Structure 1
């Protein structure tokens, strides 16, 4: 399954608690699209969120976000994990 890093630029500060709630909502919708949100990182001050997701394609990953909370990614990058 392809691995993506999506990026959200909210343009205003965001709390880790709010992002955690959005992530829980993603988990409730992901199976419908064969998507698996794995991890996320937050820059609270800059209002930026980074999500690591396994998905068949970027559109499926964004559909989960759209249905779960409406915050679709501004960028989606195909990535490969290294060590």
Structure 2
């Protein structure tokens, strides 16, 4: 995938994924889950690695500081997809 979606289908897929992730995060916040306290330095390192290596490389898992495959195992996307289902506009 490019930095910018090249066609309408890719754009709509990306929009749907982002919306599902936001809905999932909002639900967690509403339930009182404030997330993990991650130091700013760790977040900057994770952002840098993600920008530098993308999905083809290893990215920093901010939960425990380990490097994991950028493609991951799809669990986060699956959770967002199933929790965000049926909430379209």
TM-score (norm 1): 0.32
The structure with the largest alpha-carbon Rg is 2
| Structure (1 or 2) with the greater helix fraction | 2
TM-score (norm 2): 0.31
